[in-house]
Amino acid sequence: MLALGASAQIPALERVEPMFWWVGMSNPNLQLIVHGNNIAARNVVLNYPGVKLKAVHKVENSNYLFLDLEVFSSASPGTFPIKFTKAGEKALVYNYSLKKRDKSAGRAQGVTSKDLIYLIMPDRFSNGDESNDSFDNMREKGINRDSMYSRHGGDIQGVMNHLDYLKNLGVTAIWLTPEIENDEPHASYHGYAVTDYYKIDPRYGTNELYKQFVEKCHSMGLKVIKDLVHNHAGTEGYTISDMPMKSWVHQWPTYTKSNFRDAAVMDPHVSPMDRKLMQDGWFDHRMADMNESNPYVQNFLTQNHIWWVEYAGIDGFRLDTYPYNDPAYMAKWAQDVKAEFPKLSIFGETLVWSAANQAFFTQGNTVNRGFDTHLPGITDGVLKDAIFEAINGNDGWTDGVGRLYSVLAQDFLYQDATRNTIFLDNHDMSRMLSVLKEDFTKYKSAMAMLLTMRGVPQLYYGDEILMKNLSDPDGLVREDFAGGWKGDKDNKFTADGRTKRENEAFNYVSKLANYRKVTTALQTGKLMQYVPEKGIYVYFRYDAAKTVMVIFNSSEKEQTASAERYFERIGDAKKARNVITDEDVDLKQIALPAKTALVLELLPGITH
């Protein structure tokens, strides 16, 4: 499908990656990828105390060399020349730097169930620097906010300009969709067709600005998650347009798309071709499927991800399209990354249809996998669907709230379900408000569950101000955040710019999120749920400090519930405080309007 040598018009020494590295890494081995016109015709000379050139690999494409270095613990930070020599020609020189590791407190600290993640598409959040909106040397030029598939001009500076807004909302961690360069001809604003792994897309900013962004977030008590794409790469990137070797990507006689069937990975009766199509098929014509069984590809990806953590100090990774990757490599990748950054958190995207399918990919599931994936958690799309069924569906044994109860009852499948990221929507699916048919009562109930349930909750930008729309057919779920651009009619970042209902939504989410921030029972406490009865579903989050009761009436009519059935958790408590209204509630008779969830903190008198 792809040929070698498609891009021979490059400088004699075009690039060396990683561009620099650090002394004192857990793994002393480092593989440099060198790209330049016929660079393989040259010899390599390196001389620096504590650094050994172990091997020089020539591959199918003479525009590449792969250099195996060993950086001993005795190596000191500094810069040294790597010379590429050829008889009768002037040597090419790359001055390589080894830096001192930054071990400051608060770097690579991990994202846990104590946090609330806020997902942002940088292109659609805020344009903080109009000077970087377009570049003549990039394939897609200009911005067009009237098109959902064009670039709109949002950037990293725009996110930095609104960190106070996020802090006030109660957010503690920010996940940006990929910020690295996507130099594709069209519709690459989303970030998932990377063309330069070591470079922030210029339309978002610079590497240095990204580092400043992380540092500013940390100074404000906010963490940062980086979105990684192992599975595929944009076809305009240099390693794809001028591949080192044919086996760099999965090759097919003609363009072959993935079948997108995750069950083929775990099916004991699977057709081998179905499994191959799932894992080796391409996502899109513009997204080449990486061959992660190739050791050169493995080193290239893993070192890049380690580089970004050490360079910027990010706190966690979200792994795109996790089931499509090579399983053995991903397990090794996780171990290699955690060896350098033990506290770093990792969660994989698994948009599948059952809890068993999700759990199959998580760590500790060695009976079914035959090995450990070392993947701590996943994106819990099954719980998302169960919450919507609980709110929109009709009560039944495994329908309505019965579905939610049943999904949580399957938490035994995970080593630790609290490491799963829970959510109601994201950039790839219909907005929660639209799924809930724009019913504000249902919206509040869904938010109540999201912010009190086990796991790591994640909001999608704009959910807190009632942004809506379905995912098909026009992509409006990636609409701009009003107020993020100069000249916007409304500014939803301020209370004055929001409608009365939008402020009610913002205040509701903010009240719960900030309550969660100071309530350990909702962060790390245990979960106890009760079998639903007559459409009423109750669960508790509790620890030695507090007990929080969440009670949801899924029926279409008002009901009254008595706390008597829940004596195990309520003990001798007679009253509770409504977390949203601050009103006292008599636990003997709890009035529950239709489709309403109440979040109640039990008042003194509790037994634990």
pLDDT per residue as tens digits for the range 414-447: 999 999 999 999 999 999 999 999 999 999 999 9
Whether residue 310 has pLDDT greater than 70: yes
Q: Mention every residue, 6+ apart, whose C-beta is less than 8 A from residue 402.
A: 395, 396, 532
Task: Determine the pLDDT at residue 3.
Answer: 73
Could you tell me the domains of the chain?
15-99 (2.60.40.10), 117-236+295-522 (3.20.20.80), 528-602 (2.60.40.1180)
> CA-CA distance, 505 to 580, in Å (whole number)?
12
CB 297 within 8 A of CB 291: yes
Where does residue 325 fall: left (phi above 0), alpha (psi -120 to 50 degrees), or beta otherwise? beta
Task: Determine the pLDDT at residue 604.
Answer: 83
Task: Determine the pLDDT at residue 38.
Answer: 97
CB 221 within 8 A of CB 172: yes
pLDDT per residue as tens digits for the range 124-153: 999 999 999 999 999 999 999 999 999 999
Task: Determine the pLDDT at residue 607.
Answer: 47
- Helices and strands of the chain, counted as H and E runs: 17, 28
Whether residue 108 has pLDDT greater than 70: yes
Vertex 178 angle, CA 309 and 192, to 5° = 130
Task: Determine the pLDDT at residue 347.
Answer: 98
Secondary structure of 245-262 in HEC code, one letter for each residue: CHHHECCCCCCCECCCCC
Task: Determine the pLDDT at residue 4.
Answer: 76
Task: Determine the pLDDT at residue 464.
Answer: 98
Whether residue 235 has pLDDT greater than 90: yes
Cα–Cα distances (Å) from 42 to 86, 239, 465, in that order, read: 5, 20, 59
Q: Is 536 exposed, middle or buried (0-12, 13-18, 19+ CB in 10 A)?
A: buried
> CA-CA distance, 413 to 229, in Å (whole number)?
26
pLDDT per residue as tens digits for the range 336-351: 999 999 999 999 999 9
Give the confidence band of 449 by pLDDT, cuts at 50, 70, 90. Answer: very high
Task: Determine the pLDDT at residue 196.
Answer: 98
Alpha-helical segments (H) within 341-475: 355-360, 366-369, 381-392, 401-409, 432-435, 440-450
How is residue 403 written in tokens? 């579905």
Task: Determine the pLDDT at residue 8.
Answer: 60
pLDDT per residue as tens digits for the range 375-416: 999 999 999 999 999 999 998 888 999 999 999 999 999 999
Q: Provide the angle, in degrees to the nearest 10, between the axes of the packed helices 295-312 and 327-340.
A: 30
Residues carrying an active site annotation = 320, 349
CB neighbour burial string for 91-112, b if at least 16 within 10 angstroms, e if fewer: ebebebebeeeeeeeebbbbbb
Task: Determine the pLDDT at residue 606.
Answer: 45
Give the confidence band of 242 by pLDDT, cuts at 50, 70, 90. Answer: very high
Task: Determine the pLDDT at residue 315.
Answer: 98
- Of 101, 102, 113, which Cα lies nearest the Cα of 75? 101
Max Cα-Cα span within the chain: 93
- Of 120, 248, 112, 252, which Cα lies nearest the Cα of 189? 120
Task: Determine the pLDDT at residue 168.
Answer: 98
Vertex 207 angle, CA 203 and 211, to 5° = 120
How is residue 486 written in tokens? 């100069």
Whether residue 6 has pLDDT greater than 70: no
> CA-CA distance, 532 to 317, in Å (whole number)?
36
For the chain, percent of residues with pLDDT exceeding 70: 98
- Of 374, 383, 264, 370, which Cα lies nearest the Cα of 323? 264
Whether residue 551 has pLDDT greater than 90: yes
Q: How many CB atoms lie within 10 A of CB 77?
A: 12
Secondary structure of 443-512 in HEC code, one letter for each residue: HHHHHHHHCCCCCEEEEECCHHHCCCCCCCCCCHHHCCCCCCCCCCCCCCCCHHHCCHHHHHHHHHHHHH
Whether residue 608 has pLDDT greater than 60: no
CB 195 within 8 A of CB 184: yes
Mean residue pLDDT across the chain: 96
Give the SS3 label for residue 302.
helix
Cα–Cα distances (Å) from 505 to 294, 424, 447, in that order, read: 49, 15, 10
Task: Determine the pLDDT at residue 475.
Answer: 79
Q: Give me the mean pLDDT over the 369-376 stretch.
A: 96
> CA-CA distance, 161 to 157, in Å (whole number)?
6
Cα–Cα distances (Å) from 401 to 92, 322, 559, 566, 597, in that order, read: 67, 29, 15, 17, 12
Task: Determine the pLDDT at residue 605.
Answer: 62
Q: Give me the mean pLDDT over the 163-184 stretch.
A: 98
DSSP 8-state class, residue 339: H
How much is the pTM?
A: 0.97
